[in-house]
Amino acid sequence: MNSLLFNSAKSCCPTPRKRYRKPKLKVMNEDISGAIAMKKKAFYQWKINGRSEDPRNELYIQKKETTYNLRKHCRKAVAMNRIDEREKIMEANIKNKNSFYRLIKKQRGRLSNHIDELSVGDTVYSTENNILSGWKHHFENLTKNSIHEHFDNKYQQKVEQEYIDIIDICRAMFQHQSITENEIVEALKLLNLNKSPDIFGVSTENLLYGGQSLIYHLKELLDSTFRLCYIPDEQKLGIVIPLFKNKGSCKDSKNYRGITITPTLSKLIEAVLKIRINPDIIKYQNPLQRGFTKRTAPLNCSFIIEEYHKEYILADSGYGGKIGSISCCAPTCADDLAILSNCPYETQILIDMAFDFSKREAYLLQPAKSCVIQSKSRHHEKVNENFWNLGNSVLPTSNKATHIGICRTDDDSCKATIDENLKKARRTLYSLMGVGLYGENGLDPQTSMSIMNTYIIPIMFYGLEIVNP
């Protein structure tokens, strides 16, 4: 089916015209073409008559004038293109928001992503083919199970056995529920458009505009997959794209995260499953464990930290802090964990618990990316630096750290967060000046305010509702 969809879409598209030579000029029109012809003619006459450098020579003057006219027409064409692009942005801001965001992204430009060498561990790859091999080696290592002396192998064996038992129980209790065409249609609506095609060359648009016949065949295919409880290995392949984290050296593979383009049919299967199980998840979900839930935000985690920091309520039992009777010793969002406690000894116990949990679940905590902030409040007991340990490593003590985009300090987190937000907003504003976000000869006020509200204001005010007293 993947090959059929790809070949059908390819046959419908016009054949792209091959360009054998890269154009030297970014713009071209009739005036520029005529100016180029005049310049070539003047240069030829100047060359066959001895290449005189005398400023009073008629042919030399004519060559200079034709060069000036060519550059003038090029600058004029570039300026007209810039005006046209801004008019398109102003028009799209009113008529088509998707085109508006696409034009803004195009005009903002991109930083150079080219690297001439890549460090993977202790190995440095320099040539283009070697760099691709380095990326392959890096991501292959990430997919392998880590083997470390601190990992609990007995626990891992128990987990694997429990996994097998759960699969057997689910197979024994399984009752197939046939997929309907309405589920396929609703699942297609959940898929994002204008995304890169998968490894088979299939995108969401191929499925969405395939017609009723394709929907019927998709229903039969997914129904067979669910009935047999089997997904082919081909639907588990993907294209891995390294994405720079915007921190550290761009030549170190550790500073990249892999983004995988999964097969479109696999996304459709996930969408169908989401339609079926999401109502039950929302119904029985713990209100204090939201995860990536619709109409919620990661700032919920920061809200718990801020409330605890303001309340300073000591726990009568258990480890870590509490707000009332609710334990809030370890607010977490994804892989960002914060440990809260008024007692340094309890803090060390919580750190040891997190370290023991990492050994059981077979992942490594990074001491270099962790730190301790001692609040200046009188409710907190003070200890010397290097008091806390993560395994055999000493946790550094700092007066400033970022958690879920909010800058936490030992004194005034509000002021530090405002300063960081202003820096980020200022950089964003500078990057949008190429779009025309400035005063005279720029975009109209309505479009400028729309860009400000979309790209700058959210950065400037991020998290202030949490840290602002």
pLDDT digits (tens, 9 = 90+) for 22-36: 667 778 889 999 999
The domain locations on the chain are: 24-107, 119-284, 298-467
pLDDT of 215 above 50: yes
Highest averaged pLDDT of the listed ranges 90-94, 302-306, 458-462 = 458-462
Rounded average pLDDT over 104-120? 71
Q: Token pair of 214, please?
A: 């394709």
Rounded average pLDDT over 105-134? 78
Q: Are 251 and 223 in contact (CB under 8 A)?
A: no
Calculate the average pLDDT of the chain. Answer: 84
pLDDT of 21 above 70: no
How far is the CA of 56 from the CAs of 46, 51, 67, in angstroms? 13, 13, 17
pLDDT of 73 above 80: yes
Estimate the crossing angle of helix 181-190 against helix 264-284, to 10 degrees. 90
Q: Are 435 and 89 in contact (CB under 8 A)?
A: yes
Rounded average pLDDT over 44-64? 91
The alpha-helical segments, DSSP class H, found in 96-152 are 97-108, 128-143
Rounded average pLDDT over 171-187? 91
pLDDT of 67 above 90: yes
- The string over 232-270, giving b where at least 16 C-beta atoms fall within 10 Å of a residue's C-beta and e elsewhere, is eeebeeeebebeeeeeeebeebeebeeeebebbbbbbbe
Distance CA(90)–CA(115), nearest Å, equals 36
The pLDDT assigned to 290 comes to: 65
The pLDDT assigned to 314 comes to: 44
The pLDDT assigned to 140 comes to: 86
Q: Are 443 and 82 in contact (CB under 8 A)?
A: no
Q: What is the pLDDT of residues 423-455, one digit of tens each?
A: 999 988 888 887 778 777 777 888 888 888 888
Distance CA(142)–CA(366), nearest Å, equals 16
pLDDT of 380 above 80: no
How far is the CA of 9 from the CAs of 12, 115, 190, 196, 209, in angstroms? 5, 34, 21, 14, 10
Instruction: Name, in order, each residue with C-beta under 8 angstroms of 465's C-beta and a sequence gap of 6 or more.
Output: 299
Q: What is the pLDDT of residues 218-227, one digit of tens each?
A: 999 999 999 9
The pLDDT assigned to 39 comes to: 92
The pLDDT assigned to 19 comes to: 62
Predicted confidence band at 367 (pLDDT cuts at 50, 70, 90)? Answer: confident
- Would the pTM count as exceeding 0.85? no
Q: What is the pLDDT of residues 201-213, one digit of tens each?
A: 899 999 988 889 9
CA distance between the termini of the chain: 58
The pLDDT assigned to 247 comes to: 77
Tokens 């070539």, residue located: 40
The pLDDT assigned to 69 comes to: 93
Tokens 């202790």, residue located: 122
The pLDDT assigned to 315 comes to: 42
The pLDDT assigned to 446 comes to: 83
Q: Compute the half-sphere exposure of residue 102: CA atoms within 13 Å on the CB side of its CA.
A: 10
258 bridge partner residues: 242
Instruction: Name, in order, each residue with C-beta under 8 angstroms of 262's C-beta and a sequence gap of 6 or more.
Output: 198, 238
Q: Is 65 helix (H, G, I), strand (E, B) or coil?
A: helix
Q: Are 413 and 406 in contact (CB under 8 A)?
A: yes
120 bridge partner residues: 123
Distance CA(428)–CA(410), nearest Å, equals 28
Predicted confidence band at 377 (pLDDT cuts at 50, 70, 90)? Answer: low
393 bridge partner residues: 390
Out of 43-52, 53-62, 245-254, 259-268, pick the least confident.
245-254
pLDDT of 185 above 50: yes
Q: Is 242 helix (H, G, I), strand (E, B) or coil?
A: strand
Q: What is the pLDDT of residues 304-326, one digit of tens each?
A: 888 777 765 444 445 677 777 77
Rounded average pLDDT over 165-186? 91
How far is the CA of 281 from the CAs of 276, 287, 294, in angstroms? 10, 11, 12
Q: Are 388 and 351 in contact (CB under 8 A)?
A: yes
How far is the CA of 458 from the CAs of 190, 215, 294, in angstroms? 26, 40, 19
